[in-house]
Structure 1
Amino acid sequence: MKLPVLLPKRLTILLISLFFISACNPYERPLTVAAAPWPNFEFLFLAKELNYLPQSQYSLFELPSSTSVIQAFQTGKLDVAFLSLDEVLTLVALGIDLKIVSVIDQSSGGDALLVKPEIKTLEQLKWRSIGYENKAAGALLLDEVFTLSGLNNQTVQLFEVKQSEAKDAYMQGNIDALIVREPEKQQLIQLGAREILNSRLLQQRITHLVVVRKDILVSKEAQVTDLLKRFYKAHEYYLDNEKDALTTIAVRLQIYPYLLEESFKGTRFIEPKDALMRLSGSPSNVELQAAQLSKFMTQKNMLGKIPSDFKSIISTRILERVIYE
């Protein structure tokens, strides 16, 4: 069951906005930055709400799905994107010249398999339907389901359901199980779905990153550095003023603050010094993850030909400036 695909309203707004931005003098053009809904990406938008990011220097867009972010980055509409590692590898395989400049977090339960209330075990999914987005996170969790239950793609029905469509798919009642991520996960649990497996069980961690177009990193290094400084400043505000920060974010996302608080529990935020360590070394932690994940994605026919030198897509320069300047 593939749900109808419509041009998302926020993506339409992004494309219209970027048309006018592109008419500006390139030296005056603000940095264009986008992310899809995910708990720790919200500090980017919290920074905007707190007036840490001047509109004259930064244009921020929260798009309905990471697929929309990938498409906008691929076509040159974005300078900076917040994405998962598998999504970054997809862009690299498409020939996009980019640099990973920070590691934001790892999913620690934030991605999960949710089932209808009457389903109590993984084995009860036999001959039933599972909806998931055909990306590495979904594929990793699906593999774990098959490993633990003895099921396979011949004994369950698999359907592609995008994250932005998950709530509607569950409410229609046509899908028995869904692989989803936060904050959709909490919303489905409120509707009665049961969590039966999550990303804490995965050996291959789902990691989220910040990437920058290589030419932008060269020409606007100071601006990119300032973006991350203010992102981390917003995270510090959250730590010091959790109730106020949750309320501010929840109002923008139109969800209850207590659900947002639960969403954050499914992630492990990575502080700048730890992120720098993960990007440093030969090979670095991120290089090793990229090599392992690219192999998995290639086996699943999710990735085209990709360079094996992952060190070439990593830059520690921005984090060094964030930490030491």
Structure 2
Amino acid sequence: MNLCINKFLKTMTAVSLFLSVMSCTPYQKPLTIGAAPWPNFEFAFLANELGYLNKDNYSLLELTSSTSVIQAFQTAKLDVAFLSLDEVLTLVALGIDLKIISVIDRSKGGDALMAKPEIKTLEDLKWHSIGYENKASGALLLDEVFTLTDLNNQTVQLHEVKQNEVKDAYLKGNIDALIVREPVKQQLLALGARELINSTALGLPIINVLVVRGDLYLEKEQQIAHFLRSYYRAHRFYEKNTPEALTSMSVRLQLYPYFLEKAILNSQFINPKQALMRLSGSPSNIELQAEQLSILMSEKRMLGQIQTDLSSLISTRILERAIYE
């Protein structure tokens, strides 16, 4: 009898101790990671579907447009975000503390100006309308159109059209040309739109990067490194199992797989070791590109004054952990 009571008391003590420890363990909020639709950002969502990411530790959000991602990061609703370099500079000019932790890709035609079939040249856009997302790299492409022609905001009508609104805007026919990103570009091509110019014409490339909030990159270093490792693991899965990966990603995007495959070809994916090389050095490759881009954007009045030293925006710690651990 005494033996049974002793065993019972020991069990209850162990249970009480466990519950006490659990009650003292603070709740760890999942790391929130956000992106707008873009082919190489999809490997984050593929990693999630493949089970590489614990759902208790990571919350992935695909937002409708680049503007939405910028706003969510600015208001701390996102911890980690996929952004273009010009979008990063826009946030830095607003005083947002962040770190660039990897370089994802370079647009090689993935950003483009698409027009109705009857509009055959850039010059034909005179007195017509153009839709574009003002806070994204589309503004750079629009500026290039103005540079190459005698067009300006007096001779064309400009409309704010976010990426999730592009297809509907084209189908309604109210806007004559639209600056779009992949994979929407493939959808417009299938609808008969004509491509007038794309990102390969830009003097400075459109570079996409991964950023983390400055107050989190050390505190959540291990967690972010695991996400980055899983992201690149999903890309390797895509390379070895392309049809299966395309099907999975296309179902989520509600696209035909061959549209997504063509879209992926319009960017240059940068593998983790290449990304590390671009982030390393003094000055680093990405710092030099950011400096050139900030000068151009400032000259075009697209960017406020940046008070931060651009070299301080870059950290290789997390990417190094993702590669070598």
TM-score past 0.5 threshold: yes
Relative to structure 2, which stretch is displaced further, 295-304 or 85-94?
295-304
Tell me if 1:233 matches 2:233: yes
Query: Tell me, what secondary structure is at the counterpart of 1:224?
Result: helix
Q: What's the counterpart of residue 304 of structure 1? A: 304
Instruction: Give CA-to-partner distance per residue, 1:188-226, whole Å, 9 cap, x none.
Output: 111111111110111111111111112211111111100
Q: Distance in 2 between matches of 1:171 and 1:122?
A: 21
TM-score of the aligned structures, taking structure 1 as reference length:
0.89
Once the 2 structures are TM-superposed, how far is the Cα of residue 146 of structure 1 from its aligned partner? 2.4
TM-score of the aligned structures, taking structure 2 as reference length:
0.89
Q: What's the counterpart of residue 114 of structure 2? A: 114
Aligned-residue sequence identity (percent) comes to 69
Letter matched to residue 236 of structure 2: E
Q: What's the counterpart of residue 321 of structure 2? A: 321
Instruction: Look at both structures and tell me which one has the larger radius of gyration over its CA atoms.
Output: 2
Once the 2 structures are TM-superposed, how far is the Cα of residue 308 of structure 1 from its aligned partner? 4.9
Contact 1:98 1:212 in 2 (8 A): yes
Q: Distance in 2 between matches of 1:136 and 1:167?
A: 17
Instruction: Give CA-to-partner distance per residue, 1:246-268, whole Å, 9 cap, x none.
Output: 00000000010010111101111
Query: Tell me, what secondary structure is at the counterpart of 1:196?
Result: strand
Instruction: Give CA-to-partner distance per residue, 1:110-151, whole Å, 9 cap, x none.
Output: 000101011111121111111111135222212222233332
Letter matched to residue 290 of structure 2: A
Once the 2 structures are TM-superposed, how far is the Cα of residue 26 of structure 1 from its aligned partner? 5.6
Contact 2:67 2:133 in 1 (8 A): no
Q: What's the counterpart of residue 94 of structure 2? A: 94
Once the 2 structures are TM-superposed, how far is the Cα of residue 75 of structure 1 from its aligned partner? 1.3
Relative to structure 2, which stretch is displaced further, 136-145 or 200-209?
136-145
RMSD between aligned residues: 1.6
Once the 2 structures are TM-superposed, how far is the Cα of residue 321 of structure 1 from its aligned partner? 1.3
Instruction: Give CA-to-partner distance per residue, 1:276-310, whole Å, 9 cap, x none.
Output: 11111111111111112122222333322212510
Relative to structure 2, which stretch is displaced further, 56-65 or 68-77?
68-77
Q: What's the counterpart of residue 194 of structure 2? A: 194
Contact 1:136 1:297 in 2 (8 A): no
Q: What's the counterpart of residue 3 of structure 1? A: none
Matches within 5 A, 1:147-296: 147-296=147-296
Once the 2 structures are TM-superposed, how far is the Cα of residue 181 of structure 1 from its aligned partner? 0.5
Query: Tell me, what secondary structure is at the counterpart of 2:296?
Result: helix
Query: Tell me, what secondary structure is at the counterpart of 1:153?
Result: coil
Q: Distance in 1 between matches of 2:122 and 2:113?
A: 10
Aligned residues: 302
Query: Tell me, what secondary structure is at the counterpart of 2:137?
Result: helix
Q: What's the counterpart of residue 42 of structure 1? A: 42
Q: Distance in 1 between matches of 2:133 and 2:177?
A: 12
Letter matched to residue 145 of structure 1: V
Q: What's the counterpart of residue 53 of structure 2? A: 53
Unaligned 5+ runs, structure 2: 1-23
Q: Distance in 1 between matches of 2:136 and 2:49?
A: 32
